[in-house]
């Protein structure tokens, strides 16, 4: 018999695959002897079986019965008994944290009879009926799939009738009447009475949690976070402890350090006389842990000790859920807490200083994606601004956008290119699509552990929560602060680092981390406050350590001296891709058109002669900016149509001239050019006359560029500089293509060397480094990858052009499929991320691996790099490290990200 059920005393934190994160950590806390209510976990395997079969595995019901009876016997109470009832919670718990995405039901076991027993046993009739109305509300919404507004509107109506603003001010009669209202709503919606049998409630709740794995919002969250869709969720059945037993009870969420800023010290939210979901739902504004200390010093002291013990045990920031029942502390959950990018870097450095982790471990705790977020601009504090209100700084950043008041509008407006700020009284899991679409999130209720705050931090979204002065009327689509009205479409600016909310669009300035990256630590911390100084110092320590640990060199893709200077300031160790076609735009385009369209050798030579000094000067500027560092110059590689006159415009021009009977040299030239353009017209230019093919079929084109490179390098050598130039031949599919280009190039290099008196020929022995100009190729066609063992004979290096290699491997035309295909493919799980963003390891990646291994088998010293966009993608960098490439090349802005990730790849 498959074991589907584990008591909390049986598992540990390393069994997340089987018990889910929540179940594994409940078992770990039980093992540590912390006060955890007794219970058991139904495994993720049971969930997968349920989702496959459409019903529970037969053994599961038996095992739940055995687990429940064991729980009842140990506690001396029975589920839903009419005298001293045992009540339980039913909570989801997947391997990876998915805050708010799946279901929880509290107070299972309450019914019309047991509510009286609970009142008698507790001595608090109001508490019992409050717990019953909570069960009905959660059960109706999560198990019976009723709209949450049915219950929340009825609750608001009850408070309004009573003339109170908080549900804690409703008395027992109000709650008893509310229970009747809720039961009537259940009957109206489902056509059946609310189930009175406790075991029926339990079984239905378990199935609801299983089913919640496949809700739209859960699937959307997993796609965004790239969590596999086939893992399933565990279900945790836990003895209820009650935070709604009066003022000596309460519930809270705490962090062992501030998850927003990374400051040392316990942070959290506490609600007296409440149950757990009240805190994360944000339906009441919370108290701080300092307030808890004043209310219940003994429980606060015990909580502080538990938090320290858990942080020491996990050696990381811990996120903790707890309940206090009549001054007794109970631990309901712990996990390694989600944090903002700023907090991630500060906490990693702090834990090193506290000797809890090593620098290598600290490097594994941060990511290139987090560093990229820290480099985004911030609000200009010196600019004129109109402060609207202030809430809690829940997730840092600067967000500017038009106010919208529901998720659907946020998504719709964002899709048409608008920046929006989602403004809500409080968010709930159904708002996820709008939260993803929005530039920032602003709520009137909730604290740092509310749904909005937790999800925003996980996504790296700017968020301000608990802006109490903000009154949101989602129906009227307005928000008010005093007499000030914000209508839908009005611009607002929110600062997730301070909690400030401003009217209008605030200007932004570079972040201190970007200042550090470009100008150094001293410039970044000069005049900065303590928090910024601590953040920048932490980034410096970890990035410096990454540089010391990484094997991969980091180059940049740059086409101009200006780009090269910026890349060098960001830490680039060379240029991995200079796209020379970008040098032929503007006024020079007519010259390259003349080269391609020339019908005589003389006309072609004339155009080439005009281009040579321009191209040589481009290379002198670029090589001078990167003096002493390698610069890989790719010969021309545009699709042919990019350098030809527009076919339609030219045809219209000729047709009009003919219709008007115009004649002359100009008309004759237009006809000649049109005939050439018609002859060269291609149905699929990306696979047509481009790259090495264009160079071989257009006499003198590549020769021009090679000569310009050689003359630029020679001039710099003569001036005492140290140019380290490399020539890269694009779109090679056959070794013979590379041989032909190489043979011509080496003749030109020898000519220039003789004329200038320098050594430029590439004559070093096979596999040995040389001080000349290496000639290599881009590997961007599947055939090139599969015949890399032959191409290595003619090439000094391979640079993988993964953009085109992805297109040609998948058969995708990127410009077409990203809009037309990818959304559906991501939705249906064909892939979890665009293969143009992250390397397709199984397909494209396998070709990279084959070419790398077989190329080096032919030429052991073969230098290998990548220059596609994947060179700056964190996950792809780890793949390239594993394959054994020598360097990655990316856009200048991504250089710091690549540096960090290359270091992480070396230690993970």
Q: What amino acid positions are annotated as catalytic residues?
A: 451, 867
Sheet bearing 5-7, strands edge to edge: 5-7, 39-42, 233-239, 88-94, 104-108
Cβ burial, residue 402 (10 Å; 0-12/13-18/19+)? buried
CB 125 within 8 A of CB 245: no
SS3 label, residue 496 = coil
DSSP 507: P
Tokens of 427: 């968010």
Q: Alpha carbon of 37 to those of 254, 272, 312, 463, 689: distances in Å? A: 18, 19, 22, 34, 71
Sheet bearing 264-272, strands edge to edge: 264-272, 250-257, 318-325, 328-336
- CA 772 vs. chain centroid, Å, equals 43
Q: Alpha carbon of 698 to those of 28, 437, 614, 723, 736: distances in Å? A: 70, 48, 19, 28, 17
Return the HEC string of 784-845: HHHCHHHHCCCCCEEEECHHHHHHHHHCCCHHHHHHHCHHHHHHHCCCCCCCCCCCCCCCHH
Non-local CB neighbours of 585 within 8 Å, separated by 6+ positions: none
Instruction: Determine which helix (DSSP H) or strand (DSSP E) holds 320, and give its type and residue range.
Output: strand 318-325
Strands 724-729 and 775-779: parallel
DSSP letter for each residue of 226-291: T--TTS-EEEEEEE---S-SSTT-EEEEEEEE-TTT--EEEEEEEEET--THHHHHTSSPPBPHHH
Cβ burial, residue 293 (10 Å; 0-12/13-18/19+)? middle
Return the HEC string of 124-171: CHHHHHHHHHHHHHHHHHHHCCCCHHHHHHHHHHHHHHHCCCCHHHCC
Largest CA distance in the chain: 108
- Residue carrying the six token digits 């058109």: 593
- Residue carrying the six token digits 């219209």: 652
- Cα separation, 199 vs 68, whole angstroms: 10
Residue 225, number of CB atoms within 10 A of its CB: 14
Per-state percent for the chain, helix, strand, coil, to nearest 5: 50, 15, 30
Instruction: Determine which helix (DSSP H) or strand (DSSP E) holds 374, and give its type and residue range.
Output: helix 368-374
CB 756 within 8 A of CB 818: no
Tokens of 1: 């018999």
Tokens of 518: 């470009």
Show the DSSP H helices in 757-793 as ranges: 782-786, 788-791
CB 94 within 8 A of CB 208: no
CB 801 within 8 A of CB 867: yes
CB 252 within 8 A of CB 226: no
């Amino acid at each position: 018999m498959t074991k589907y059920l584990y008591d909390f005393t049986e598992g540990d934190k390393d069994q997340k695959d089987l018990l889910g994160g929540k179940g594994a950590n409940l078992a770990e806390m039980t093992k540590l002897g912390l006060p955890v209510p007794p219970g058991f976990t139904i495994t993720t395997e049971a969930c997968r079986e349920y989702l496959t079969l459409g019903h529970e595995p037969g053994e599961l019901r038996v095992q739940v019965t055995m687990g429940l009876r064991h729980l009842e016997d140990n506690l001396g109470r029975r589920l839903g008994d009419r005298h001293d009832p045992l009540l339980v919670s039913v909570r989801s718990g997947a391997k990876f944290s998915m805050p708010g995405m799946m279901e929880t039901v509290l107070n299972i076991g309450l019914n019309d009879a047991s509510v009286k027993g609970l009142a008698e046993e507790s001595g608090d009739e109001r508490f019992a009926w409050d717990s019953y109305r909570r069960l009905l509300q959660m059960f109706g919404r999560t198990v019976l799939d009723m709209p949450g507004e049915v219950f929340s509107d009825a609750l608001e109506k009850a408070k309004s009738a009573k003339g109170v603003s908080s549900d804690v001010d409703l008395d027992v009669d109000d709650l008893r009447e509310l229970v009747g209202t809720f039961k009537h709503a259940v009957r109206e919606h489902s056509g059946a009475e609310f189930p009175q049998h406790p075991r029926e409630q339990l079984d239905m709740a378990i199935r609801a949690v299983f089913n919640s794995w496949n809700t739209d919002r859960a699937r959307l969250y997993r796609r965004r976070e790239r969590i596999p869709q086939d893992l399933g969720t565990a279900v945790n059945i836990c003895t209820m402890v009650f935070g709604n037993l009066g003022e000596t009870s309460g519930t809270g969420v705490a962090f062992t350090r501030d998850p927003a800023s990374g400051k040392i010290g316990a942070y959290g939210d506490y609600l007296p006389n409440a149950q757990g979901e009240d805190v994360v739902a944000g339906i009441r504004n919370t108290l701080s842990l300092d307030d808890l200390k004043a209310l219940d010093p003994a429980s606060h002291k015990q909580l502080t000790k538990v938090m320290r013990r858990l942080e020491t045990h996990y050696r990381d920031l811990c996120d903790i859920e707890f309940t206090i029942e009549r001054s007794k502390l109970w631990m309901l959950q712990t996990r390694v807490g989600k944090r903002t990018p700023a907090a991630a870097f500060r906490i990693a450095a702090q834990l090193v200083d506290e000797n809890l982790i090593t620098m290598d471990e600290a490097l594994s705790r941060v990511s290139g994606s987090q560093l990229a977020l820290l480099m985004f601009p911030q609000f200009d504090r010196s600019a004129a601004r109109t402060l609207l209100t202030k809430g809690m700084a829940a997730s840092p950043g600067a967000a500017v956008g038009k106010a919208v008041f529901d998720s659907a509008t946020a998504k719709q407006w964002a899709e048409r290119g608008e920046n929006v700020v989602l403004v809500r009284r409080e968010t709930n899991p159904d708002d996820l699509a709008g939260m993803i679409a929005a530039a920032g999130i602003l709520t009137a209720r909730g604290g740092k552990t509310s749904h909005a705050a937790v999800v925003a931090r996980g996504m790296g979204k700017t968020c301000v929560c608990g802006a109490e002065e903000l009154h949101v009327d989602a129906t009227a689509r307005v928000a008010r602060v005093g007499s000030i009205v914000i209508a839908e479409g009005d611009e607002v600016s929110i600062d997730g680092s301070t909690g400030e909310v401003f009217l209008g669009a605030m200007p932004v300035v570079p972040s201190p981390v970007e200042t550090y990256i470009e100008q150094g630590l001293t410039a970044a911390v000069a005049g900065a406050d303590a928090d910024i100084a601590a953040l920048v110092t932490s980034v410096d320590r970890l990035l410096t350590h990454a540089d010391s640990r990484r094997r991969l060199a980091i180059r940049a893709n740059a086409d101009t001296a200006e780009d090269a200077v910026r890349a060098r300031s960001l830490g680039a160790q060379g240029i991995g891709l200079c796209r020379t076609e970008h040098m032929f735009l503007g006024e020079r385009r007519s010259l390259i058109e003349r080269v391609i369209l020339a019908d005589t050798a003389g006309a072609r030579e004339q155009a080439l002669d005009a281009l040579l000094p321009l191209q040589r000067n481009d290379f002198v500027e670029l090589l001078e900016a990167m003096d002493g560092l390698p610069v890989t110059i790719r010969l021309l590689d545009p699709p042919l149509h990019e350098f030809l006159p527009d076919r339609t415009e030219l045809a219209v021009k000729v047709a009009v001239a003919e219709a008007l009977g115009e004649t002359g040299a100009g008309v004759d030239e237009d006809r000649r050019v049109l005939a050439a353009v018609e002859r060269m017209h291609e149905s699929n230019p990306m696979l047509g006359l481009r790259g090495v093919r264009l160079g071989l079929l257009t006499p003198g084109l590549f020769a021009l560029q090679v000569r310009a490179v050689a003359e630029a390098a020679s001039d710099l050598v003569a001036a005492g500089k140290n140019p380290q130039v490399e020539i890269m031949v694009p779109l090679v599919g056959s070794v013979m293509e590379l041989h032909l280009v190489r043979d011509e190039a080496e003749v030109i290099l020898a000519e220039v060397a003789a004329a200038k008196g320098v050594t430029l020929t590439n004559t070093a022995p096979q596999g040995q480094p040389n001080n000349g100009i290496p000639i290599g190729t881009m590997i961007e066609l599947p055939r090139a990858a599969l015949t890399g063992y032959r191409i290595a004979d003619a090439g000094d290096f391979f640079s993988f052009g993964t953009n085109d290699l992805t297109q040609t491997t998948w058969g995708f035309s990127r410009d077409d499929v990203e809009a037309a295909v990818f959304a559906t493919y991501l939705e249906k799980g064909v892939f979890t991320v665009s293969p143009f963003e992250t390397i397709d390891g199984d397909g494209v990646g396998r070709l990279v691996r084959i070419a790398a291994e077989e190329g080096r088998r032919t030429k052991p010293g073969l230098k290998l790099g990548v220059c596609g966009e994947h060179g700056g993608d964190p996950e792809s960098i780890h793949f390239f490290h594993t394959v054994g490439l020598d360097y990655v090349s990316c856009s200048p802005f991504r250089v710091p990200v690549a540096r960090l990730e290359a270091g992480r790849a070396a230690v993970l």
